[in-house]
Amino acid sequence: MIKLKLGLVFLAAVSASSAASAADVARSRFGKLPDGRNVEAITLTNSRGAKARIITYGAAIQTLIVPDRNGQMADVTLGYPTMEGYLAKSEYFGATVGRVANRIAKGRFKLGGRTYQTPINNGPNALHGGTRGFDKVLWEVVEVKEGPTASVTLRYVSPHMDQGYPGMLTTTATYALGDDSNTLAIDYYARTDRPTVVNLSNHAYWNLAGEGSSESILGHLMTIPADHFTPVDSTLIPTGEFRRVEGTAFDFRRPTAIGARVRNADQQIVYGKGYDHNWVVDRRIAREPRLLARVEEPTSGRVLEVLSNQPGIQFYSGNFLDATIVGKAGKLYRQGDAIVLEPQMFPDAPNRPQFGSVRLNPRETYHNRILFRFSTSAAR
């Protein structure tokens, strides 16, 4: 009898310990769309205190809370406190962007001998899938899980010729936060019923000092392990060239403050009003995620590493944040208050064969795996 009681006590202790260390999921209402449909928020939390809130509008990261080197928690991604902000001026905060992330020249591309036209929404070009891309639609929650890894899977079915793109595309986005590390993993999968083009990514804005901090990102130390980038024309469409970073403002092969050269009179910086370019880490999709960028905020010690199986990363230095948006902390978002790091195939790839193919055929599966891995560095 004593042995049985001891055994039950032991099992209860193990169960309690497992529950305490498990990552949790909570669901709540975030707001409503104009047509009355509810927008949900799914919050993933691990025992280290890291917390990611995902909303079903745009399958977007609305909050990402991680500790600094002293254990102080802060929300490090930009966003709105309520649904009304996302509807008024989205800015792609934390959103899933597609069908084709980044820009397509004049919104046109050829596929199978036919020319397709997508909406023009960025100067003379198409950006992030069009006027109603994947960032501006309501995704369906298809699965939530808790345990060693907490996750939510969302789905959106884009009909044939949605925003001018051929094929019915079924896309899922799975966000996962493990209990063993402060890593938010995103898995984008897509399948089509006819040939189309696909290039999905996430458009989170990061400030490792905190989204309401008075510190800009100019002092963040950036590392991008790329020997080349793709220069652009005055409308931010790639010229087709692979240009070496050596000797330019685009050389981040060693840790460099983002603000060190962002005011250089380099014509590329002039075109983008800062950085808004694609770095070429490789020319091919990899089997497993590899490091595309590392960012460190020296004061807090927070470090963000971005890994993906994709070959390129778009680095945007928040050039068009213009102090017209009030964020979650009640502060204005100004130019240079955040950076965006989007793992992707290269911009305008549908029109640039040398950039690699973004074509997706029936019975094929598109996959972009992204890891946002957070840690801390020692004081310098």
- The residue behind tokens 């964020």 is 327
Domain definitions of the chain by residue range: 20-376
Please give the distance of CA 21 from its chain centroid, rounded to a whole number: 27
pLDDT class of 13 with cuts at 50, 70, 90: very low
Looking at this protein, which amino acid is placed at residue 151?
S
**Which of these ranges, 220-229, 235-244, 256-265, has the smallest mean pLDDT?**
256-265
pLDDT computed for residue 263 by the predictor:
85
Gap between the Cα atoms of 222 and 341, Å rounded: 11
pLDDT in tens, 327-360: 999 999 999 999 999 999 999 999 999 999 999 9
Two tokens, residue 62: 């609305």
**Which of these ranges, 28-32, 151-155, 160-164, 262-266, has the smallest mean pLDDT?**
262-266
Mean pLDDT of 21-34: 93
Phi, psi of 89, deg, nearest 5: -160, 90
The mean pLDDT value of the chain amounts to 93
* Cβ pair 200, 240 in contact under 8 A: no
Gap between the Cα atoms of 255 and 252, Å rounded: 6
- Helix/strand/coil for 355: helix
pLDDT computed for residue 21 by the predictor:
61
The DSSP bridge partners found for residue 327 are: none
Q: Is 203 annotated in the active site?
A: yes
Please give the distance of CA 172 from its chain centroid, rounded to a whole number: 15
Gap between the Cα atoms of 64 and 56, Å rounded: 15
Is 196's pLDDT higher than 60?
Answer: yes
Cβ neighbours for 202, distance < 8 A, ≥ 6 positions apart: 61, 94, 95, 96, 97, 186, 342, 343, 370
Q: Which of 203, 220, 228, 277 is catalytic?
A: 203
Mean pLDDT of 24-37: 97
CA 210 vs CA 19, 239, 309, 337: distances in Å: 30, 36, 28, 10
Q: Is 277 annotated in the active site?
A: no
The DSSP bridge partners found for residue 315 are: 277, 341
20-376 adopts what CATH topology?
A: Beta-galactosidase; Chain A, domain 5 (2.70.98)
* Cα distance from N-terminal residue to C-terminal residue, the chain: 59
pLDDT in tens, 48-71: 989 999 999 999 999 999 999 999
Residue from 52, 41, 53 nearest 139 by CA:
41
The DSSP bridge partners found for residue 372 are: 184, 306
Q: How many CA atoms lie within 13 A of 110 on its CB side?
A: 6
Is 17's pLDDT higher than 70?
Answer: no
Q: Which helix (H) or strand (E) holds 16?
A: helix 2-21
